[in-house]
């Protein structure tokens, strides 16, 4: 982990969703190293092992706890936020990281139920958790919501995912207007392609056959070509901007979506 700012989140309660692996786990590790009391939310039971490991490496006095929840429905999202409040008493920062392409193929090959599942995976967790945490943040007249969108809103072979992440960008812009009078900032990053270890919990089925593998390769090729740097980013390169936007250093930034994709603006 590079460029850690010790004490930047000291005493703050930070909820990170989708924290069992990938960008979410990297962000949780980053803010914990900077003093945050973290609540890690994921539907995978793996989250409890991640939280336990994080608790052992957090900055002095910082704590970490895992919560299992399915954020694709309001009951799960509301329950996760209530559990976090019960454990920590307040929420200063919510980082919405749940989402990810399930299938990779031209739009005409998507079945209707697959389209629905993509939207449920990559739009509703952010929508529901924002709704669940908002009354609490309004009550304390402070808070930060950082949503994780994507530059894949302009990309090949994942139109439903693009629609969902476009919705995340819209949530960010519209909610920032409503939340600002209550001292709440709402911001987002839009990651590009990101290198990560093999997933312990798969997002969806692996490509089968030459045609599906070729469709996925088209995504990889287009992602690299669209980046001015002609490469994928690293987990640290994604976690750093998210942590910055969540911190008091970004106190005059709201309603903005920061592309973190080597020059690809999506």
pLDDT value at 90 more than 80: yes
pLDDT mean over 6-29: 96
CATH number at residue 139: 3.40.50.720
pLDDT recorded at residue 98: 97
pLDDT recorded at residue 3: 79
pLDDT mean over 32-45: 96
Between 5 and 224, where is the model more confident? 224
In a domain, 166, yes or no: yes
Mean pLDDT, the chain, rounded, equals 95
In a domain, 265, yes or no: no
pLDDT value at 70 more than 80: yes
pLDDT value at 197 more than 90: no
Rounded Cα–Cα distance for residues 263 and 231 (Å): 10
Band (1; pLDDT cuts 50, 70, 90): low
In a domain, 248, yes or no: yes
pLDDT mean over 122-135: 98
Rounded Cα–Cα distance for residues 156 and 186 (Å): 28
Number of domains in the chain: 1
Residue tagged active-site, from 161, 216, 232, 252: 161
In a domain, 232, yes or no: yes
Rounded Cα–Cα distance for residues 10 and 31 (Å): 9
Rounded Cα–Cα distance for residues 234 and 153 (Å): 20
- CB-based contact 213:206 (threshold 8 Å): no
pLDDT recorded at residue 206: 77
Concerning whether 74 is annotated as a catalytic residue, the answer is no
In a domain, 1, yes or no: no
pLDDT value at 199 more than 80: no
In a domain, 266, yes or no: no
Please name the residue ranges forming H helices in the chain: 22-33, 46-55, 74-88, 112-122, 124-140, 159-179, 209-226, 235-246
- The proportion of the chain whose per-residue pLDDT surpasses 70, expressed as a percent, equals 98
pLDDT value at 120 more than 70: yes
pLDDT value at 60 more than 90: no
In a domain, 46, yes or no: yes
Strand-pairing partners, residue 145, are 94, 186
In a domain, 3, yes or no: no
Q: Could you list the residue range(s) of the whole structural domain that residue 79 is in?
A: 13-260
Q: Quote the pTM value.
A: 0.96
Torsion of CA 175, 140, 39, 235, to 10 degrees: 40
- The proportion of the chain whose per-residue pLDDT surpasses 90, expressed as a percent, equals 89
């Amino acid at each position: 982990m590079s460029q850690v700012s010790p004490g930047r989140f000291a005493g703050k309660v930070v909820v990170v969703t989708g924290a069992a692996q990938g960008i979410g786990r990297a962000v949780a590790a980053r803010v914990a190293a900077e003093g945050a009391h973290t609540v890690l939310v994921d539907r995978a039971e793996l989250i409890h092992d991640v939280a336990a490991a994080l608790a052992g490496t957090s900055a002095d006095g910082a704590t970490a706890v895992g919560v299992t929840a399915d954020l694709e429905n309001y009951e799960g999202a509301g329950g996760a936020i209530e559990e976090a409040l019960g454990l920590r008493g307040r929420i200063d920062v919510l980082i919405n990281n749940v989402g990810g392409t399930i299938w990779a193929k031209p739009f005409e090959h998507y079945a209707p139920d697959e389209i629905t599942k993509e939207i449920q995976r990559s739009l509703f967790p952010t929508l529901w958790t924002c709704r669940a945490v908002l009354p609490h943040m309004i009550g304390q007249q402070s808070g930060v919501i950082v949503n994780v969108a994507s530059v894949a809103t302009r990309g090949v072979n994942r139109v439903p995912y693009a629609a969902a992440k476009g919705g995340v960008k819209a949530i960010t812009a519209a909610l920032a207007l409503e939340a600002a009078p209550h001292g709440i900032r709402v911001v987002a990053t839009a990651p590009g392609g990101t290198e990560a270890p093999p997933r312990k919990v798969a997002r969806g089925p692996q490509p089968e056959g030459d045609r599906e593998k070729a469709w996925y390769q088209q995504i990889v090729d287009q992602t690299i070509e669209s980046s001015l740097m002609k490469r994928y980013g690293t987990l640290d390169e994604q976690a750093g901007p998210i942590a910055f936007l969540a911190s008091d250093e970004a106190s005059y930034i709201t309603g903005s979506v920061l592309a973190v994709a080597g020059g690809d603006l999506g």
